[in-house]
Amino acid sequence: MATIFSRIVAGEIPSYKVAEDEQFYAFLDINPLAKGHTLVIPKREVDYIFDLDDEEIAAMQVFAKKVACAIKRAFPCIKVGQAVLGLEVPHAHIHLVPMQSERDMLFTNPKLQLTPEEFTEIANKIKNEIAK
């Protein structure tokens, strides 16, 4: 059965997309630690990120870098933190989180409750920066 993230890539489940190319897809985490919290995934369905081919994981990191730089311009922060957990969804993904402090990377923190309009606005801000 396809993962929830493959179903997002296929358009069967909605997402707040921020970027896409042939191999990768980036969209807002629905339970964000901070405004701009984004997930980067390979379109190819692989559970564990370190099972990706060398070329694929390298390309995924370059794609994530572009997204992270756009997030930082859209949501000024000290740095964009990167984390890989993968304990919940068995489809490799990189979390990108704008950080004002180390505490912003604590996945046990309460998540932001945002409206669909807020998610759309956040995704548009990041998309606009990627397009620059």
Active site residues: 93
Among 85, 100, 106, 128, binds ligand AMP (CB under 6 A): 85
Query: Does the protein bind ligand AMP through residue 15 (CB under 6 A)?
Result: yes
Least Å distance, CB 88 to ligand AMP, is 3
Query: CA–CA separation, 51 vs 7, rounded Å?
Result: 21
In contact, 32 and 121? CB cutoff 8 Å: no
Cα angle value 101/5/29 (rounded, 5°): 25
Per-residue mark of binding to ligand AMP, 25-44 (x: CB under 6 A): ----xxx-------x-----
Query: CA–CA separation, 95 vs 88, rounded Å?
Result: 13
Least Å distance, CB 34 to ligand AMP, is 12
Find the helix or strand (DSSP H, E) in which 96 lies.
strand 94-99
Q: Which residues bind ligand AMP (CB under 6 A)?
A: 4, 13, 15, 29-31, 39, 85-89, 93
